[in-house]
Amino acid sequence: MSRLEAAAASVDITPELGVPSPAGRVEAVEGPLRAGLVVFRSGGRSIVWVTLNQATLSPEYDQALAHTVGSAVGVPELAVVLGCTRNLSSPLSFGGANAADPGAPRLPYHDRVIAALGRAAAEAVGRLGPARLRYAEGTLPELQYNRKGRRPDGTTFFKRQEDLRAQPDDIGLIDPRIPLLRVDSLSGEPIAVVTQYTGDPCIATRLDRGAVNPDLPGYAAERLAARLGQRDLPVLYFQGCKADVAVRHMFEGDAKARDAGDRLGDELARLYDEAEPIQGAELAERHGRAAVPLEPLPSAERLSLELDEVADFRRRMARGENVEILLGHNFPAIAAAALRLRTADAMQVWLDWAVAARRGRAPVPREVWFDVHAYRIGDFALATTAAELFGHAGLEIRAHSPVKRLIVACCCRQPWPALPGAARWAYLPGSADLDGNEYMTCHYRYTRFVTQFAPPAGDAVRDALVDLLSSV
């Protein structure tokens, strides 16, 4: 019978001042950022899971990390899980060049993170020891909301915290569940905790200046570690199917982020105490791909109207007006004029491409491919994809998976593998969400030369993950 071994590490990935961030450059560090890493070995097979408390991984950063960590553990890159919390109060990845973005440079900061995770993985291999797993699942719905708002004309918009006050009722669903995997030594000493919560952690995000902040994921991990008396406990925080779900108190600052993190950390501590043993110790993994179709190009008339709207937006901004919405994108009140204009620039690039494509001067992709992965340890499984699925998908994967002790993690590994450069978003609705007025299916297209998703869209990724879970 196979024996499970495990070792873990918590790695500081806090950047120095001046590193590029979503708001420009890091001007302040309000708290540390950390990565969690755990190595599992059983029956001659090893896998390694890593989560980083940051917004995204570009393909270039993803590949460098997977190669370094995989080499340190002695496993192929597919045996390396890399997940992001989607914390926007974090530095940018390097690379990711496309027509709308020249790409962020590779900096000593990135090399430091890559080297530190490589060292941590190698050291973990040297510390592997007998381990056992326990699992629990709870809920915490009061921190979440569905961020779809609806206007009188039936169109939808991105409902932020300020909009939530005017339209407090959820239109769509949320997935409030919190799965927790506890990794212990045979004597009961904590090795690591693996968990998942659903919703964009943007409480501490500053759009007016670059500030690094642990936000909900970091503060929750800190609270859990303090409750367990393990200051440096590795906590791997995976993001759920959150494309239409956000965490409450968006952009309301550090104090609100810490309060929310403390509440989530307290719930994690309760689940930690209630966790029940996982049966079996065998490791297995399966990998696949899902094809997601795209709609045809918009009509020439629609493109013309959208170009006119972007031009009018620029004119109004130049007059000092506070323009709140552009082509379905709802700007928060805190968003600076420069940030709004950068969004308009990206939309302009997409529209120029679409006009050229309609005239036959540029290729039009008809589908994109998303990788899907399933990793199993005994009667527990971790299912991952880069796609940011809508909440329906997460609930349906769990309902149809033969493995019920399960974490479904989005924002894992590189997005848009079939296309060059890094996508900032890969929000992927299911067929039930594609009603023609669904904001998430269109306004994020402006960072990538693809058209809006077509049915079955996210259902294809959902079904591929269920198939993997049925065979892993």
For residue 163, the model assigns a pLDDT of 83
Q: Look-up: residue for tokens 């192929």?
A: 76
* Residue 326: strand pairing partners: 329
Structural domain boundaries in the chain = 5-284+370-413, 300-358
List for the chain the helix, strand, coil content (%; round to 5): 35, 30, 35
- Strand, coil or helix: what is 420? coil
C-alpha to C-alpha distance for 110 and 15, rounded to whole angstroms = 9
- DSSP code for 95: B
- Give which of 161, 247, 259 is closest to 200, Cα–Cα: 247
Tokens of 118: 């490589």
Q: What is the pLDDT of residues 358-401, one digit of tens each?
A: 999 888 888 888 899 999 999 999 999 998 898 889 999 999 99
Tokens of 32: 């540390």
Which amino acid, one-letter code, is at 377?
Answer: I
C-alpha to C-alpha distance for 365 and 417, rounded to whole angstroms = 13
Length in residues, the chain: 472
Q: Do 267 and 140 form a contact (C-beta atoms < 8 A)? A: yes
Note the pTM of the prediction, 2 decimals: 0.93
C-alpha to C-alpha distance for 44 and 198, rounded to whole angstroms = 34
* Residue 401: strand pairing partners: none
C-alpha to C-alpha distance for 202 and 246, rounded to whole angstroms = 8
Q: Do 157 and 324 form a contact (C-beta atoms < 8 A)? A: no
Q: What is the pLDDT of residues 8-55, one digit of tens each?
A: 999 999 999 999 888 788 999 999 999 999 999 999 999 999 999 999
C-alpha to C-alpha distance for 173 and 394, rounded to whole angstroms = 11
C-alpha to C-alpha distance for 83 and 117, rounded to whole angstroms = 13
For residue 60, the model assigns a pLDDT of 85
* Sequential pLDDT tens for the chain (472 residues): 689 999 999 999 999 999 988 878 899 999 999 999 999 999 999 999 999 999 988 888 999 999 999 999 999 999 999 999 999 999 988 876 554 456 678 999 999 999 999 999 999 999 999 999 999 999 999 999 988 887 787 767 778 888 888 888 877 788 999 999 999 999 999 999 999 999 999 999 987 788 999 999 999 999 999 999 999 999 999 999 998 899 999 999 999 999 999 999 999 999 999 999 999 999 999 999 999 888 899 999 999 999 999 999 999 999 999 998 888 777 877 788 888 898 888 888 889 989 999 999 888 888 888 899 999 999 999 999 998 898 889 999 999 999 999 999 999 986 555 554 444 556 888 887 766 555 555 555 666 678 888 888 899 999 999 999 999 9
Q: Do 410 and 387 form a contact (C-beta atoms < 8 A)? A: yes
